[in-house]
Structure 1
Amino acid sequence: MNPLLRAEQAVLGSVLLDPDQLSHLHWLAPEHFYRPIHQALFAALRKLRSDGHPAVGAEKPVPTSPARGAWPDDAAFGDSLPALRQWVTDAVDEAGRHVRGLTAAYAHTLISACPRAEHAPVYGRMVLEGAIHRTVAQHAIRLHQAARADALQGEVAGALRSADVLTGVLADLARRWGTDPRPVAPTAAPPTAPAAPVVRADLVAEDERFLLAVLAEQPQALDEVVAWLRPGDFADPAHGQLYRCLGALHHRGEPIDRITLLWEAQRRGLLADGTLSGEQLTAICDGVVPGSAEWFAQRVMRSSLTRTATASARAVQALAEDEALGPGRLINHALHVLGPLDEVRARWQAANGSPAPKPPTAPAAGGPPPARVQAARARSIPHPAPSPPARTSSGPVPASARSPSRGHP
């Protein structure tokens, strides 16, 4: 069975056994569960608790290891057993209003799946961990889809909006997990699928050739674009290197024509390694077209932004699908791989005269916010099992509960 499914069953079983465990799970939400039936049941349990169900707060010992497939021994609960049974029945009825297929038998299966009710915060942490991976992957896919759609339509608004949403989601997940969101480079490059082909590659290459032809014919136009257009913005590496040659000649104040460009390309080894050929350079210089260098450069920049958004989305998705990556590292690595998109976006805004985005607010001095500390501690601090009341009759005494698993580091 999937470990995540086991964790979801265990946390629900612990709350069915001991309603007071909900007080240790205030940071866990129904949407953090993967299965809809589990979402509905956890929402029902929270509603019953907020409505003041009689089982909440009742003094009762919780059996540390209920028999699999059977209701715990009646003697373990004493007079509180009817209220607990009503708690389970009411939870199933309430959840059944929102989802189909939930039965009392499945509720007993959940109870049997819980090794120790007092370990509910640790089980809940596992559920939240799975939800973080799932949520990051979903938003990365949406960013990828938006970037591809923008590339087809010659737009960037959808990709930028999806990137903002993903960044906000990462910040919210960091708050829930109790970590400080900051970009951290992965120790190893995340595994990624082969790069997707450039959308409308023929039109992108045409825009790049036209831009280079205009810049070769009107070198003074470099002043309009050199501040925000980079060689890496070109989809064709040969075009990016030729733009670098144009920029170098312009920076040194040397004349620019097909001969000086060819010489600069040779000095950089571009002819020897096959990056450029004399025929390519001649074709670009001879293909002079009327037009604005700034207009063509913005088209190249737009294509660069959607390509970068696509690559960033694929990298974030690969990180989210790595189950061995802890949530804190996942969030921080995802912020890191979104960095190139932030850099391209800043230059795109400079090209269009838009104000630069406000930098994120620095954390207050003296440590992380109290809410973040509380979120982390809620999952990490052990909650001892309640002591059983004195027994009037002789019988076996339940074994002491083991210490719950250590929380997130």
Structure 2
Amino acid sequence: MTPLVQAEQAVLGALFLDPRQLIGLSGWLRPEHFDRPVHAALYAAMLKLRAEGHLAATAGADGPVPLAWITDTVQEASGHTRGLTAVFPHLLVSACPRPEHAPIYGRMVLEGAIHRSVALHAGRLHQAALADLRRGSVDETVHHAQVLSDVLVELARVWGTEPRPVAPPDAYSLHPGRPHSVADQVLADEEFLLGCLSSHSEQLLDLVHWLRPDDFIDPGHQQIYRALRALLHRGEPIDQLTVLWEAQRRGALSDGTLDTDRVQRVCDPLVSGAAEHFGEQIVNASLVRTAATAARQVGALADHEALAPGQLLDYALYALGPLEDVRRRLRIAQGIEPGPSHADDRPGGPPPSSRTDAALARSHVADGSPVLAPTPSRAAPPARHNRRSPS
């Protein structure tokens, strides 16, 4: 028999011996907090009898507990559970070490309920995410993610703590988990989007504030998107060669993540399409993958019986942080939530920054033609001492 079952028996035994303790327990301990159905039915029966004014459970009750309290409780509970006999309450009474410790026993029951509830809703989120991965949708994932978040906040209120995300210590570190299977369509959408952004870089302005490199599941696609963002940020031209050069500068070619042929194939200048639509599809897929990972992490935390409820809830909220970030960015992409202003990036906005000026100066002269030689206003790079004179 587990300590949790013993705690459920002890608190019910204490209430059979001293039903007046329901006055202090009824405000926070609920029937659904009991794991055993028969225990939940008995506690619900006690609450109902007290609400109906049973003399044994009132504040003014004094003297020995009447036998009617036990028989009435059993009779009421028998209508909601099977196999309950008149002997069962006596077994609960004998399992109670100290009746006056009922609040402590009740707190043990609540602690077990918190772990069970977190594990239950994390499991539902994980199943919803796996189903959405197969369907290519996000509706069930978004729903169950919100439910889990609300449950964590409500459980924190019941436990009496302020819900706040806290990073767990190394002993409870949150590991990414096994990689998810990826549909070929997701990879195709990623590649097509990068082609659209490379050939029509003005579309980056509409995506850069809500589409992140980590939303791409392919490491090579992540690096190409990072290169595109870097070029946009510096105000430099975007084409096959500039993206390739930026990817090389970031080490993506030397570490084998990308190669020249692949970058040029992905950044095909002939690709054209609505980048915003494909960007939203990629964020959708990222949300579902992030939800599956977060659900596994929260479920693993709930399985740690040594975690106090306050710690479990704080660590679980922290694990949901990346998921909430993707949900927020998806709402921005869908126009449900306003995103940060990027007026500074658009033509006709405020003057470019000194960084953008310097980047443009490295690429073009004043009339827009390519830089072929240093101008009087621009210093030439230092000459190499071993450079040979043309013959």
Structure-2-length-normalised TM-score: 0.81
Partner residue in 1 for 2:342: none
Partner residue in 1 for 2:275: 293
Partner residue in 2 for 1:375: none
Counterpart selection for 2:292 from 302, 310, 314: 310
Partner residue in 1 for 2:34: 33
Partner residue in 2 for 1:59: 62
Alpha-carbon distance between aligned partners in 2 of 1:247 and 1:355, rounded to the nearest angstrom: 22
Partner residue in 1 for 2:135: 153
Displacement of 1:303 after TM fit? Answer: 0.8
Question: What's the Cα RMSD here?
Answer: 1.9
Asked if the contact 1:190/1:318 (under 8 Å) is kept, the reply is: no
Alpha-carbon distance between aligned partners in 1 of 2:118 and 2:309, rounded to the nearest angstrom: 10
Say if 1:190 and 1:292 are closer, same or farther in 2 by CA, change over 3 A. same
Displacement of 1:152 after TM fit? Answer: 2.8
Listed as ranges, the matches of 1:99-138 within 5 Å are 99-138=81-120
Displacement of 1:12 after TM fit? Answer: 0.5
Letter in structure 2 aligned against 1:30: P
Alpha-carbon distance between aligned partners in 2 of 1:356 and 1:161, rounded to the nearest angstrom: 21
Task: Note the residue ranges of structure 2 that are not aligned, 5 or more in a row.
Answer: 340-391
Asked if the contact 1:205/1:236 (under 8 Å) is kept, the reply is: yes
Partner residue in 1 for 2:49: 48
The reply to whether residue 183 of structure 1 matches residue 162 of structure 2 is: no
Counterpart selection for 2:181 from 198, 213, 226: 198
The reply to whether residue 16 of structure 1 matches residue 16 of structure 2 is: yes
Say if 1:312 and 1:30 are closer, same or farther in 2 by CA, change over 3 A. same
Partner residue in 2 for 1:395: none
Moved over 4 A (4+): none
Which protein, 1 or 2, shows the higher relative CO under an 8 Å CA cutoff with sep ≥ 6?
A: 1
Structure 2 SS opposite 1:272:
coil
Alpha-carbon distance between aligned partners in 1 of 2:312 and 2:16, rounded to the nearest angstrom: 32
Displacement of 1:296 after TM fit? Answer: 1.2
Asked if the contact 2:180/2:289 (under 8 Å) is kept, the reply is: no
Structure 1 SS opposite 2:82:
coil
Asked if the contact 1:25/1:124 (under 8 Å) is kept, the reply is: yes
Task: Note the residue ranges of structure 1 that are not aligned, 5 or more in a row.
Answer: 61-79, 358-409
Equivalent pairs counted in the alignment come to 335
Larger deviation, residues 219-228 vs 11-20? 219-228
Asked if the contact 2:200/2:272 (under 8 Å) is kept, the reply is: no
Displacement of 1:193 after TM fit? Answer: 7.9
Partner residue in 2 for 1:394: none
Displacement of 1:328 after TM fit? Answer: 0.8
Asked if the contact 2:13/2:99 (under 8 Å) is kept, the reply is: yes
Displacement of 1:154 after TM fit? Answer: 3.0
Asked if the contact 1:40/1:98 (under 8 Å) is kept, the reply is: yes
Alpha-carbon distance between aligned partners in 2 of 1:199 and 1:20, rounded to the nearest angstrom: 58
Letter in structure 2 aligned against 1:194: G
Partner residue in 2 for 1:331: 313
Alpha-carbon distance between aligned partners in 1 of 2:295 and 2:270, rounded to the nearest angstrom: 37
Displacement of 1:256 after TM fit? Answer: 2.4
